[in-house]
Chains A and B, each alone.
Chain A
Amino acid sequence: MKRELRLMKGNEAVAEAAIRAGCDGYFGYPITPQSEVMEYITAEKPEERTGMVVLQAESEVASINMLYGGAGAGKKVMTSSSSPGISLMQEGISYIAGAELPCLIVNVVRGGPGLGTIQPSQADYFQSTKGGGHGDYKLITLAPASVQEMADHATLGFKLAFKYRNPVMIQSDGAIGQMMEKVELDEQEERLTDDQIKEQYPWATLGKTPDRERNIITSLELDPAKQEQINLKLQKKYREIEKNEVLSEEIECDDAEYLLVAFGTSSRICQKVVKMARDEGIKLGLLRPITLYPFPVKEVARLAGQVKGILSVEMNAGQMVEDIRLAVNGKIPVEYFGRFGGIIPSSTEVLEALKQKIIGG
Chain B
Amino acid sequence: MAEQLTKEDIRKEANIVYKKTEVLTDNVLHYCPGCGHGTIHRIIAEVIEEMDIQSETIGIAPVGCSVLAYNYFDLDMHEAAHGRAPAVATGIKRLLPNKYVFTYQGDGDLAAIGTAETIHACNRGENITIIFVNNGIYGMTGGQMAPTTLEGMKSSTTPYGRNIKQMGNPLKMTELVAQLPGTYFVTRQAVHTPAYVRKAKKAIKKAIQYQEREKGLSFVEVVSNCNSGWKMTPVQANKWMEENMFPFYPLGDIKVPEDK
Binding site for B on A (CB under 8 A): 24-25, 27, 53, 55, 57-59, 61-63, 65-73, 75, 77, 91-92, 95, 99, 194, 205-210, 214-220
Contacts and interface: CB of A to CB of B under 8 A. Distances in A.
B91 interface: yes
B80 A65 contact: yes
28 contacts: A25-B94, A53-B94, A55-B90, A62-B87, A62-B117, A66-B88, A68-B80, A69-B60, A69-B88, A69-B95, A70-B92, A99-B79, A194-B96, A205-B58, A205-B77, A205-B78, A206-B58, A206-B99, A207-B55, A207-B56, A207-B76, A208-B54, A208-B57, A209-B55, A214-B75, A214-B76, A215-B77, A218-B78
Interface string B199-220: 0000000000000000000000
A201 B160 CA distance: 53
A41 to B, nearest CB: 14
Contacts of B96: 73, 194, 206-207
B70 A92 contact: no
Contacts of B76: 205-208, 214-216
Given A59-B116, A62-B120, A69-B89, A25 B95 contact: yes
Nearest to B63: A220
B95 A24 contact: yes
B91 A214 contact: no
Q: Which 4 A-B pairs have the closest CB atoms?
A: A69-B91, A66-B91, A65-B87, A69-B88
Interface string B80-103: 110010011111101110010000
A75 B95 contact: yes
Q: How large is the interface on B (under 10, 10 to 19, 20 to 34, 35 or more residues)?
A: 20 to 34
Nearest to B101: A69
Nearest to B61: A218
B70 A65 contact: no
A65 B78 contact: no
A65 B91 contact: yes
- The A interface is mostly helix, strand or loop, or mixed, namely mixed
Given A68-B91, A72-B92, A92-B84, A217 B117 contact: no
B81 A65 contact: yes
B116 A69 contact: no
B67 interface: yes
B74 interface: yes
A55 B124 CA distance: 10
Contact of B79 (A61, A66, A71, A95): A95
Contacts of A24: 95
A136 B58 CA distance: 29
A25 B90 CA distance: 11
A138 to B, nearest CB: 19
Given A62-B117, A69-B87, A214 B95 contact: no
Nearest to A24: B95
Given A58-B117, A61-B116, A62-B116, A68 B77 contact: no
B99 A69 contact: no
A215 B74 CA distance: 9
Nearest to A63: B87
Contacts of A77: 91, 95
Nearest to B99: A207
